[in-house]
Structure 1
Amino acid sequence: MRSVIPRTGASRGGAPLSLSRTPPDSLAGHVARFFVTVIERPADELLDDFLFHENAYIRVPLVGTWETLIDGNWVGYEGPMLFGPQQRRFPVRCRGPVLAAGFAIRPGAWLTFCDEPADRMADRLVPLDGDWSAALRWATADVYDHEQTFARMEQVVRERVVIRAVPIDPVSAAFERIARVDPVRPVADIAAEFGMSGRRLDRTVRAHFGHLPKTVLRRSRFLDMAAVMRGLAVPTADELAELRFYDASHLNREFREFVGMTPAQFRRSETMLFTPSLEVRQQRKRVELAPHIVAAPWRDEDAGAKGEGVRPQA
């Protein structure tokens, strides 16, 4: 295996991870989590993997050569990108180091970051331009300086929130919470709790999450189980993830639906791009549901300490 150096931390099993931060209270309704990913790899080595997030997100890839599969063709991209909500694996490949920074968007704040309803952006990405792109490039100009990068990303998002002045959708914020902590609830029961018809809930969730309520709940259950398989389970929150699936065939069907592989294939896969994003999700869940746990139990803290802020030799 060729040299891989995880500069933003690693799991106890050695998988490279991102470094992520909880947003300040002033941005907590808009941003789920900020992240920086620095994985040193040989400049000529190709990594063919996928991204899959439950939140839409803005991602700024840095260095390397990045491509995504669109209609059967690999298409190159660079600079700040808005990734819409994802229902299926999003094929991506990179040649060279993996350097990126960005943040996950909370569904209730979707219209702060995009003019289109979320369902029109589902499983798509669009390049960002103009002042917004320039600000994100400035924020991520030195991704090896993690503290500066986090501070600058907070600054540009705060400015965006002020300029757009779009109120957070309360129904989407409430549904997001349910999807995270109780994804087995029937959609009809949730609609009744909100005092809404099922059709109206469908429209609201599609506009902010990009997919139907049932899909959002299924995706949350799947990601909980994927986290357990990767050793990223949040104590007190994910121990019963497997019980949410009726049987092995149900589990197999969900894995094929969301990532195009069986559970066994997933266990054997490295998923160097997917795993860091999954861990960012789990860090958020840990902070929200198990705040008494000071450090994530799955992280190798020595690996993080060795990697932070270290630039490769010229």
Structure 2
Amino acid sequence: MEQGAGSPISYWRASDALSGYVSGYHRYAVALPPGAVLRDALFPGWSSIRFALTGSGAWSVRLGSRRVDPVPTASFHGPSSYAGYVETGGGTLVGVGLLPMGWAALFGGDISRHANRVVPAALLDPYLPALGERLNAGEDPAAVFEEWLLDRLARSRPIDPRIVTLYDLLSDATVDRIEGVADALDMSQRALAAFTRLHFGFTPKLLLRRGRFLRALSGVLTVPDAGAALLEEAGYWDRSHFLRDCHLFLGCSVREFEKRRGPLNQMAMNVRAAVIGAPV
């Protein structure tokens, strides 16, 4: 299923065979006049692979204190705990979002090495530049990604089932304590911290905090007048508690973030939610 055709943003669901490994596929197509620059923002989240198609302008992204300029034409974006502030001269960007299960099954290794980093995608798979050629030739992004990912999945090994359990726990808004997560996985808190860094990129405390913040932020941006009730529902004591997390994950207040993000951010939230579901 695709939605957003005819608009700058499109999303596609992954097939049933891949839905437990990837969050879906996306395309951002932005036409700008010569010399114009679009500034926008990406939310903190899981990892992704993205291709800037031929004719696209160079783009850059800032994650915390790290700036990548230019982003490689074929790039791998590791899991992030910072908002990504993007600048581009326009063009078309297509990509696939990887869930932690997808990283473990399709690639494997210590994902924390890529946390809050952007690297050339060929470091993951030497075939990826050829994948970019197919996308540039006009092939359907969802079909291209599906073929490549299914081939990798067919050659993969079973993943640790605790990764799926942990992902489900982190996705549950009612789970807010590390002790409960450790008990559910029958792990010590120390072992849990090592496990989450290896497969999810960050400590369980930061992952729980990021999830809570993104649930609240999505609500605040969608319903600005929701007020304290929305923050309390997300698990915050008061607005100052929420604002501390704003500075941690966004590097600024919500008000400043709304000035920094461009028109695509809210549009992407709406289209993604309609096709795939809300990310948090």
TM-score of Structure 1 vs Structure 2, range by shorter chain:
0.7 to 0.9
CA deviation vs aligned residue, 1:137-159 (integer Å, no higher than 9, x gap): 0442256x7xx221111111111
Specify the alignment match of 1:23 in structure 2.
14
**3-state SS of the aligned residue for 2:165?**
helix
Instruction: Please say which of residues 52-61 and 88-97 is displaced more in the overlay.
Output: 88-97
Relative to structure 1, the CA distance from residue 53 to residue 274 in structure 2 (aligned partners, 3 Å threshold; closer, same or farther) is farther
Report whether the alignment pairs 1:54 with 2:45. yes
- Counterparts of 1:95 and 1:131, CA distance in 2: 28
1:155 aligns with 2:147: yes
Asked if 1:204 corresponds to 2:195, the answer is yes
**Larger deviation, residues 168-177 vs 107-116:** 107-116
Q: Which digits, 9 at most, give the CA deviation of each residue in 1:103-137, with x for residues without a partner?
A: 11111231344454111110001102264213430
The answer on 1:108 being equivalent to 2:101 is: yes
Question: In structure 2, how many angstroms separate the alpha carbons of the residues matched to 1:25 and 1:256?
Answer: 38
- Equivalence for 1:87: 81
* Secondary structure, aligned partner of 2:277: helix
Aligned to 1:292: none
CA RMSD of aligned residues (A): 3.0
Identity across matched positions, percent: 25
1:44 Cα deviation (Å)?
1.8
Gaps of 5+ in 2: none
Say how many residue pairs are matched: 267
Within the alignment, does 1:286 sit opposite 2:280 as a pair? no
Report the AA paired with residue 149 of structure 2: V
Contact 2:100/2:167 (<8 A) preserved = yes
Contact 1:44 1:96 in 2 (8 A): no
Matches within 5 A, 1:1-314: 8=5, 18-62=9-53, 63-69=56-62, 75-97=69-91, 99-129=92-122, 131-141=126-136, 148-163=140-155, 165-182=156-173, 184-231=175-222, 240=230, 242-243=232-233, 244-272=235-263, 274-275=265-266, 278-279=269-270, 282-283=273-274, 286=277
Residue 282 (structure 1) shift: 3.8
Q: Is the 8 A contact 2:23 2:98 kept in 1?
A: yes
State which drifts further: 270-279 or 211-220: 270-279
* TM superposition shift of 1:268: 4.0
Question: CA 1:69/1:156 → structure 2, altered by over 3 Å: closer, same or farther?
Answer: same
CA distance in 2, matches of 1:209, 1:277: 24
SS at the partner of 1:211?
Answer: coil
Q: Which residue of 2 aligns with 1:298?
A: none
2-side partners of 1:202 and 1:74: how far apart?
Answer: 28
SS for the counterpart of 1:20 is: strand
- Distance in 2, Cα, partners of 1:269 & 1:82: 24
Q: Check conservation: 2:175, 2:181, Cα contact below 8 A.
A: no
Partners of 1:160 and 1:247 in 2: how far apart? 46
The one-letter code of the counterpart of 2:208 is L
Do the aligned residues in 2 keep the contact of 1:56 with 1:106 (CA within 8 Å)?
yes
SS in 1 for 2:14: coil
8 Å contact kept, 2:40–2:260: no
3-state SS of 1:208 partner: helix
CA displacement at 1:174 relative to structure 2 = 1.6
Q: Cα distance, 1:78 vs. partner?
A: 3.2
Amino acid at match of 1:53: P
Alpha-carbon distance, 1:27 to partner: 0.9
Tell me the amino acid that sits aligned with residue 56 of structure 1: S
Q: Secondary structure at the match of 1:223?
A: helix
SS in 2 for 1:102: strand
